[in-house]
Structure 1
């Protein structure tokens, strides 16, 4: 007795039986190989699909997911009692002191405004850079981290300063953010500095170094 497969071959005839069965309309066709984005084949890839851009996005995301540690030089510096007391004399003296910047930055973190100090420090680093390629890269990172309205660490700048930065970013230099840096410096001076001098953190530093009564400016 013929099997069902042999009976089907006899019914279809010898010529049709040797041919592979056709794919029914209910069977899915094999998936087509994925297409590559045409712009990824050229030497100059667009920013949205380039591997370097993806790597930079991941790097920025990892930075934003955790607080940035204080620079080692500002963590390890131990201020003298006289130095701690001098911070109350002027904001300039505080900002010229590595230990002062570290203490002030820690205070800004408690007020959720640490990005102001981070921006100021990044601008200082940019102004000290001499390599043209490094200047371009650091300027772009500063813009993306602290000037872009899409950044969670955007600093508060007025429209005039923002427009000036947007124009200068066409050919960034070591001084692209000078006006913005001065504006943020002034903001920290007027807004955060007086609260820092009356904060428990600063009073604790005074108690460690000397009598609080001798620190009044």
Structure 2
């Protein structure tokens, strides 16, 4: 008697198949029958019936056909069960490669690349400090680190130093000094008196938010001079503030990153030698 997979009784095995392979083949055949794809089984039954009438060879042929179909179905089931799981590919970080493997768009990569190329250079940073078009030379900038007088007598040097004092919240010192220098240029007594009164209210009065630091001796001299203001009313105060900037603010200015960038000095080097620096 020949057995098909779907009609195989329990305990009946096809030749050359173990128990696990037999169970997998039976499951595959049952699934095919439920889906309406049972033509191969009917054909196997017909072949088996015909072979029974003809002789024993027909039964062998039907069994061989059924066995090949079962082995093929078993192989497909095993291949599907042993197939590796497909994991979704993770997105790679943006890179500057000009291909389509990046997760970012071409527009984003181009924007980042253009931003890096258009970043301001050291020369641009130096030019931005001088808006009047009178850009000093490198030798002139480095001379500011050798002499405080050269720094204060140069318009660009005063501008850079004033910006530094503003960052230290002591801009009133250089503003007072500049106001005294402007007062010395006046010839009209009326203008001198008016400017002297404004300087006193802005930088000498204890009620002013921009009061400069003066000792009692110099302050007393200024108060006496204000009775009859002249172009020399604030000379003592101007000298004291100039000395304060020279000894206190100027050394920090030379060691600031701003001046080192302008003078193109290394970070680990001192702007000017200790002998040239004020003590």
Equivalent positions of 1:1-217 (< 5 A) are 75-76=131-132, 77-207=134-264, 216-217=272-273
Which structure: larger Rg? 2
Give the ranges of 4+ consecutive aligned residues of structure 1 lying more than 4 Å apart after TM superposition: 210-215
Query: Residue 81 of structure 2 aligns with which residue?
Result: none
Give the drift of 1:211.
Answer: 7.3
> How far apart in 2 are the matches of 1:214 and 1:189?
17
Give the drift of 1:78.
Answer: 1.3
Give the drift of 1:216.
Answer: 3.1
> How far apart in 1 are the matches of 2:216 and 2:149?
26
Stretches of structure 2 lacking an aligned partner (at least 5 in a row) = 1-129, 274-279
CA contact (8 A) 1:88 1:215 kept: yes
CA contact (8 A) 2:179 2:199 kept: yes
Give the drift of 1:206.
Answer: 1.2
Distance change >3 Å, CA 111–CA 133, structure 1 → 2:
same
Query: Residue 91 of structure 2 aligns with which residue?
Result: none
More RCO (CA 8 Å, sep 6+) = 1
Give the drift of 1:204.
Answer: 1.4
CA contact (8 A) 2:254 2:271 kept: no
When the two structures are superposed, what TM-score results if normalisation uses the length of structure 1? 0.62
Find the residue that maps to 1:180 and give its secondary structure.
Answer: helix
Find the residue that maps to 2:251 and give its secondary structure.
Answer: helix
CA contact (8 A) 1:116 1:155 kept: yes
CA contact (8 A) 1:75 1:99 kept: no
> How far apart in 2 are the matches of 1:162 and 1:178?
11
> How far apart in 1 are the matches of 2:137 and 2:271?
13
Distance change >3 Å, CA 188–CA 75, structure 1 → 2:
farther
Stretches of structure 1 lacking an aligned partner (at least 5 in a row) = 1-73
Q: Deviations over 1:156-195 (max 9, x none)?
A: 0000111111111010000000000000000000000000
Query: Residue 54 of structure 1 aligns with which residue?
Result: none
